Structure 1
Amino acid sequence: MSRKTFDRRAILKATGGAATIGLLAGCSSNGGNGGDSGGDSGGDGDSGGDGGSTDTSGGDDGGSSDAINIGSVQPLSGGFAPWGQAHSAGLAFAIDEINADGGVLGGRELNVVEANSESDPAEASSIFERFAEQNDIVAATGPVSSDVGIRTSRTAQELGIPMVMHMAGSDETITPETLHTFRLGLLPAATTMQAQAQFVNDAGYQSVGAIVGDYAWGQSVQNGIDEYFDVDVDVQVAPVGASDFTSYIRQMSQDVEMVIATGHPPGSLTITQQLYELGYEPEVITGAGLPPTVIRQALGENASRGFTHLHMTDVYSDEFAEVAQRFGEEVGEQFNTHTAYGYVTGKMIAQALEDAGEADSEAVTEAIRGIEFDTLFAEPIQYSEYGELKDQVQLYSTISLDAPSYFSDGNYSLVESFRTEALPPLPPEE
């Protein structure tokens, strides 16, 4: 079985796509629910935004008739493109490795069918349904925006097809009725605030500020701060589409030790730059689950001053370094925390197929629900009955401007500053 040749242009876009503060500030224009941002993003990227599907892996012939199809509903253009492209690259790399190793279920190849959702919930749901009807997908992945995650989690339930969410961290994405949806790369807002409360307690910070967006994700973050923090937090609420945060920053103490920008994902990097411009020097600024390539490109030299990347991938493990080195050698780009989410998704779906013993969506759903998958995360992936990550660890890392040991051409590496205790799964809202 020959290894598939990667679409190098697509991979390069995925791992090194343009990222600017303006791009992120534009991620959330409609004020919708979002664990990672609040709304839509235009279909103005290189991918064309036409919603057309393509086979991205599974053999040189685009996948044989015996191939098992996985649907990838990704934002490949617009504001969320860096997330979608990185996830797509990691997924393609995992599927290529699986097929080269003999496939699944006694020799069947996996094949990814992918389309650009443009972060539009209706379009994403339509793509999902089309993949189910025309491509007979056994599982799906890809949502980044929580608006898309909320909509497609309902679609997954209606179709009876498991969906592994890349990001989409709104607490509302998973309910007692959405039994086919599973989180992977981003813990829900309440759990993330529980993690940051551990961070604050461990560091002993007494002066903490926060800027949250005035929409569902920001409100969930604020509720989490109220519930879990033992210190008083100066919380400022800004419009979700804000680009000038100077008036909110000036309300904070000049000696603030930590600023939580996690509650305003589309503005988190702008908040960081404006903090420095106003003379603030907090030890830590926590943002959203941004790809580290985005942080490095958007902040430039300031990336190493205190911005803290939160992630699930344990980039400090030997296993991560081995995968990252293989990826760098074959693709020529730096493997990162978000590329890893796509890679883990592909490997986990393959394991679920083996555990199920058949390419049946309901059987794969139950296999994922019962999985204990030792992977690139700090702890094996396990799920609650509702699809929330169970007893998982969230890591916090600052950014060094030096290349990592496994990829000498890289322009950043991560330095661990904190890892949480195992976090309980969030009970779904009724």
Structure 2
Amino acid sequence: MSKQRLNRREILKVTGGAATVSLLAGCSGNGNGDGGDSDGDTSTDTGGGETTTTASSGDDGGEQINIGSVQPLSGGFAPWGQTHSAGLAFAVQEINANGGVLGGRQLNIVESNSESDPAEASSIFERLAEQNDIVAATGPVSSDVGIRTSRTAQELGIPMIMHMAGSDETITPETLHSFRLGLLPAATTMQAQAQFAADAGYENVAAIVGDYAWGQSIKSGIEDNFEMDVDIHVAPVGADDFSSYIRQISTDVEMFVATGHPPGSLTITGQLSELGYNPEVITGPGFPGTVIRSALGENVADTGFTHLHMADVASDAFAEVAQRYGEEVGSQFDTHTSYGYVTGQMIAQAIENAGEASPEAITEAIRSIEFDTLFAEPIQYSEYGELKNQVQLYSSVTAESPSYYPDGNYSLEELFRTDPLPALPPEA
């Protein structure tokens, strides 16, 4: 995890010394959030202070435009937050190096660690709005955080782009400032996995889900979409021993759904093997690939663990960005880095489309956007902020390096991709 934070710092160093990072004890109260140190010193914080990241190159053509980054940089969801943060920083660096937005204005990231606490995340969001004048925000991974900040976004009138936060409850008809990006809602994800199971001819399917919003949404999605009866077990979200649940499952299980318990999914995979279970497929929650490879080792391809993702890693567009990132940062660009990168690029495009940097105008520009990016289909949204006509992909992880980054230690090999999926109709 410390390596991912180091990589994010390197993004700032490779801009030729123009990037500045400063740790603020609280919020900077100067309106534009420019708290950079003149000497370019880099500090880190994982306890709720803000880090202002600026990648500028001379005259910014006007006041900086602040983007809020409410990330889980420590705790159980830190692997997601740290990689997303790195991708967002890289996008802003490239945007600013290419002239910024609106005729030369520079983008600026104001970031704080939510520690995956819903109340803390909401408080940070409000603080960044009041003291740093952010025009958009991103970062939530946990569904509990996503649900809370989605309501906060509506209250503040500021768009919030969810990194993950796939609970069906995250977006409702009343939350018109929230948009999904890195993960389809639980119901749609289970629609995809039910099709995966049907296409493969699996008849014996089991699942362990976490006892929180995402896990419960996955449970409902399984019950609504799978053709066969799935053996579902509910475990505490903080559990680290799943052997008692696994022993209740048939040893003939062909497909195991671990998507509903993100923090425990890799542990579940290891304990399935230890207890003599050998499912052909274990569907994961969309962990960063580096985490999967590190946790499951050289034999990662033999575990059956599959990574679900939105980025089309086999596309030329993904390879081009991944190669630039690897050359400049010295780290492998993965699917979650890409979600941060796509978020930054999409916010910039929305600002250009809106012709101004007001939160309301950006919200409406995102809602009507058709943004061709690193995903299999252009990003488009329903009126409620659900991704529409988007493709979800499932890949196995191998111990080989990808062609775009020879120093990498894993690759993804596609097993299944959905047809474009309709937007989930929100429920009040």
Deviation readout 1:298-355 (Å, 9 max, x if unpaired) = 1113421210000001101000000000000000000000000000000000110011
**Does 2:191 align with 1:191?**
no
The whole-number CA distance in structure 1 between the counterparts of 2:292 and 2:59 is: 35
Please state how far the C-alpha of 1:111 moved relative to its aligned partner. 1.0
Report the residue type matching 2:321 in the other structure. Answer: V
Give the equivalent residue in structure 1 for 2:372. Answer: 374
Report the residue type matching 1:58 in the other structure. Answer: A
Give the equivalent residue in structure 1 for 2:422. Answer: 424
Please state how far the C-alpha of 1:65 moved relative to its aligned partner. 5.6
Give the equivalent residue in structure 2 for 1:342. Answer: 340
Give the equivalent residue in structure 2 for 1:153. Answer: 150
Change (3 A) 1:290 1:63: farther
Contact 2:7 2:329 in 1 (8 A): no
Change (3 A) 1:102 1:61: closer
Report the residue type matching 1:381 in the other structure. Answer: I
Contact 1:47 1:76 in 2 (8 A): no
The match for 1:242 among 224, 234, 239 is: 239
* Aligned alpha-carbon RMSD (Å): 1.9
Please state how far the C-alpha of 1:291 moved relative to its aligned partner. 1.1
Change (3 A) 1:375 1:84: same
The whole-number CA distance in structure 1 between the counterparts of 2:64 and 2:230 is: 53
Contact 1:392 1:424 in 2 (8 A): yes
The match for 1:132 among 129, 134, 156 is: 129
Q: Secondary structure at the match of 1:190?
A: helix
The match for 1:358 among 350, 356, 359 is: 356
TM-score by length of 1: 0.88
Q: Secondary structure at the match of 1:427?
A: coil
Q: Secondary structure at the match of 2:8?
A: helix
Give the equivalent residue in structure 1 for 2:253. Answer: 256
Q: Which runs of 5+ in 2 are unaligned?
A: 12-42
Give the equivalent residue in structure 2 for 1:22. Answer: none
Q: Could you list the structure 1 runs, at least 4 aligned residues long, displaced by more than 6 angstroms after superposition.
A: 60-64
**Does 2:122 align with 1:122?**
no
Q: Secondary structure at the match of 1:236?
A: strand
Q: Secondary structure at the match of 1:422?
A: coil
The whole-number CA distance in structure 2 between the counterparts of 1:420 and 1:60 is: 42
Change (3 A) 1:215 1:115: closer
TM-score by length of 2: 0.88
Report the residue type matching 1:203 in the other structure. Answer: A
Q: Secondary structure at the match of 1:130?
A: helix
**Does 2:287 align with 1:290?**
yes
Q: Secondary structure at the match of 1:112?
A: strand
Contact 1:62 1:111 in 2 (8 A): no
With a CA cutoff of 8 Å and minimum separation of 6, indicate the structure with the bigger relative contact order. Answer: 1
Contact 1:395 1:420 in 2 (8 A): yes
Give the equivalent residue in structure 1 for 2:323. Answer: 325
Of all paired residues, the percent bearing the same amino acid is 76
Please state how far the C-alpha of 1:62 moved relative to its aligned partner. 12
Contact 1:77 1:116 in 2 (8 A): yes
The whole-number CA distance in structure 1 between the counterparts of 2:273 and 2:110 is: 44
Deviation readout 1:108-152 (Å, 9 max, x if unpaired) = 111111111121222212221121122211111111112211111
The match for 1:396 among 378, 394, 397 is: 394
Q: Secondary structure at the match of 2:218?
A: helix
Larger mean CA deviation between 213-222 and 257-266 belongs to: 213-222
Please state how far the C-alpha of 1:214 moved relative to its aligned partner. 2.8
Q: Secondary structure at the match of 2:278?
A: coil
Change (3 A) 1:8 1:174: closer
The whole-number CA distance in structure 1 between the counterparts of 2:82 and 2:297 is: 21
1:3-402 alignment to 2 at 5 Å?
9-11=6-8, 47-59=44-56, 66-305=63-302, 306-402=304-400
Report the residue type matching 1:425 in the other structure. Answer: A
Give the equivalent residue in structure 2 for 1:21. Answer: none
Contact 2:205 2:230 in 1 (8 A): yes
Give the equivalent residue in structure 2 for 1:30. Answer: none
Give the equivalent residue in structure 1 for 2:36. Answer: none
Larger mean CA deviation between 351-360 and 235-244 belongs to: 235-244
Please state how far the C-alpha of 1:192 moved relative to its aligned partner. 0.6
Change (3 A) 1:13 1:101: closer
The whole-number CA distance in structure 2 between the counterparts of 1:88 and 1:164 is: 13
Report the residue type matching 1:308 in the other structure. Answer: T
Q: Which runs of 5+ in 1 are unaligned?
A: 1-6, 15-45
The whole-number CA distance in structure 2 between the counterparts of 1:113 and 1:12 is: 14
The whole-number CA distance in structure 1 between the counterparts of 2:59 and 2:117 is: 27
The whole-number CA distance in structure 1 between the counterparts of 2:76 and 2:368 is: 35
Please state how far the C-alpha of 1:10 moved relative to its aligned partner. 4.9
The whole-number CA distance in structure 1 between the counterparts of 2:9 and 2:77 is: 16
Q: Secondary structure at the match of 1:353?
A: helix
Please state how far the C-alpha of 1:60 moved relative to its aligned partner. 6.4
The whole-number CA distance in structure 1 between the counterparts of 2:223 and 2:122 is: 34
Please state how far the C-alpha of 1:217 moved relative to its aligned partner. 2.1
Deviation readout 1:70-116 (Å, 9 max, x if unpaired) = 11111112222111110111011111111111111111111111111
